[in-house]
Amino acid sequence: MVNLRLNDIAEKIDGSILQGSESLSFQRFSIDSRTTKPGELFFALSAKRNGYDFVPSAVKRGASGAVISQQLTLADKNIALIQVQDTLKALQDLARKVLQEYSVKIIGITGSIGKTTTKEFTSCLLSQRFNVLKSEGNFNNHLGVPLSLLKLEDDHEVAVLEMAMSSPGEIHSLTRIAPPDIAVITNIKPVHLQFFKNLEEIATAKKEILDGTKKDGTAVLNGDDILVRKISKEWKGKRLVFGLSEECDVCAQNIRKNGWEGIVFELVYGKMKEKVFLPFFYESALYNFLAAAAVGFALSLPLDSLLAGVKDLKPLPMRGVYHRLRKNIHLIDDSYNSNPAALESALEGLAELPAKRKIAVLGDMLELGEKEAEFHIQAGKQVARWDWDILVAVGPLSRHILEGAVSAGMKKEQAFHFEDSETAAKEIRSLVQEDDLVLVKGSRGIKMDIVVEQLKSKEG
């Protein structure tokens, strides 16, 4: 475990100790005064409000010290204070310099969709052979990555880090903190278009992970994604390619859907081949697994060790979790987020599952920029294309989903619209019947989990 004396921390972050014993040591670090625990060092970051204002609250919750950018005096002189020019830079510099003291392989994972799932899969598979540190939850940005690294322990051999971005330069800053030994790019899709002009700009921003990878590092790339192939052409280091085509180093062949049991396929792992079962319904989950398997291949993880980890793979909360409810109602909770590519994968992946009727409860997809209406109309057309029986559109933008579905042949009496998830939750139970399949999906801001909880609450 990281164990840093106050004077060592001050040196690493170029800070001045205002008070506190230089021999005081810290093992845990915090940026949120509401969740600070006894003994932690609190970094007073400036965001919507100045973190300086929350130092007393952090101390009250037990913090033994704080890193600040403004002069401050505390009555309790045992509470350590380090003053720096920039507290965010201090946090990042501390993590970067701590990492330099550890012999650990860094796995950096980015892409438009599937980053978190790929991170979880990778950690699970590698844990069969290595001691793995992984970034928790969605700790994937300029705050989450350094906080994850500050949880390093002496026996960690691999750190699996998700590296996200919503604007150019963000991944570059993450690779400055933790240069990857293995850089994974899952895909390039229309996500965060509100902040980019086009997909090519998104691809260029994702390329930053390759630019920041160690010279002797390995790129793990989606061989079926045109833009991933394009941005990786200049990569001069080692590469491993995953996907569905036979040219890939790690690929899936003879894919077969096995009803409510999931997907069965043959995994090609270099020169080896083995049958694999995954308890997932979407093709996107298959790609997430192949990316994770390719990381294992890059680290010479034996195939039998990788297969031993497969049994522990499962959907993350609110990301395609299957619930079998009373009256044989099949609920797929995919309410964590939504975007055009992920929604298409869900609609197609569930279309062939055995059910009396298929009901798509779809909320707005956010941050899509000036083409947001077009993306929603296209989603509606996919609902009709894959023969979903009922559409429940939720949110102001989702009116375009309904418009697209009706224009593609869905009858108007099969399509419903509600302005928000609270209203949809009140009405949804009357639309669902015995033996139905219900998909609930939407961007996090639409709070589609309210609909999920309403359906589950009727179990009693």
pLDDT digits (tens, 9 = 90+) for 225-277: 999 999 999 999 999 999 999 999 999 999 999 999 999 999 999 999 999 99
Query: Which residue in the block uniquely carries the two structure tokens 């093709």?
Result: 283
- Compute the average pLDDT of residues 433-450: 97
Sheet holding 105-110, edge to edge: 132-134, 158-162, 105-110, 182-185, 218-222, 238-243, 250-257, 263-269, 272-278
> How do the domains of the chain map onto residue ranges?
4-85, 102-310, 321-457
pLDDT score, position 460: 41
Residue count (the chain): 460
Among 382, 381, 402, smallest CA distance to 393 is for: 402
Distance CA 278, CA 309 (A): 11
DSSP 412: G
Q: Cα angle vertex 54, ends 61, 35, to 5°?
A: 40
Query: Which is higher by pLDDT, 121 or 75?
Result: 121
Distance CA 252, CA 10 (A): 50
Here the tokens at position 7 are 């004077």
- Compute the average pLDDT of residues 271-296: 96
Whether residue 285 is predicted with pLDDT greater than 60 in this model: the reply is yes
Here the tokens at position 258 are 């096995």
pLDDT score, position 136: 82
φ and ψ of 2, to 5 deg? -55, 130
Distance CA 77, CA 28 (A): 20
The third-level CATH classification (topology) of the domain covering 102-310 is UDP-N-acetylmuramoyl-L-alanine:D-glutamate ligase (3.40.1190)
Homologous superfamily (CATH) of 321-457 is: Mur ligase, C-terminal domain (3.90.190.20)
Q: Residue 191 — pLDDT band, cuts 50, 70, 90? A: confident
Q: Which residues pair with 162 in a beta bridge?
A: 109
Share of the chain above pLDDT 90, in %: 92
DSSP state string for 184-229 = EE----S-SGGG-SSHHHHHHHHTHHHHTS-TT-EEEEETT-HHHH
Among 276, 412, 394, 248, smallest CA distance to 335 is for: 394
Distance CA 194, CA 69 (A): 33
CA distances from 283 to 54, 244, 272 (A): 45, 10, 22
Q: How far apart are the first and last CA of the chain?
A: 45
pLDDT digits (tens, 9 = 90+) for 24-68: 999 999 999 999 999 999 999 987 666 768 999 999 999 999 999
Q: Whole-model pTM?
A: 0.93
φ and ψ of 138, to 5 deg? -110, 40
Here the tokens at position 143 are 């705050």
DSSP E strands in 115-155: the ranges are 132-134
Among 211, 243, 207, 205, smallest CA distance to 225 is for: 243
pLDDT digits (tens, 9 = 90+) for 347-364: 999 999 999 999 999 999
Among 106, 145, 98, 141, smallest CA distance to 126 is for: 106
pLDDT digits (tens, 9 = 90+) for 6-29: 999 999 999 999 999 998 999 999
pLDDT score, position 458: 60
pLDDT digits (tens, 9 = 90+) for 101-125: 999 999 999 999 999 999 999 999 9
Domain 4-85, CATH number (from 3.40.1390.10, 3.40.50.300, 3.10.310.70, 3.90.1150.10): 3.40.1390.10
CA distances from 136 to 12, 181, 312 (A): 24, 20, 17
Whether residue 419 is predicted with pLDDT greater than 70 in this model: the reply is yes
CA distances from 409 to 356, 384, 388, 413 (A): 20, 6, 11, 12
Whether residue 137 is predicted with pLDDT greater than 90 in this model: the reply is no
pLDDT score, position 46: 83
Q: Which residues pair with 81 in a beta bridge?
A: 19, 66
φ and ψ of 402, to 5 deg? -60, -45
- Compute the average pLDDT of residues 363-386: 96
pLDDT score, position 49: 63
Whether residue 459 is predicted with pLDDT greater than 60 in this model: the reply is no
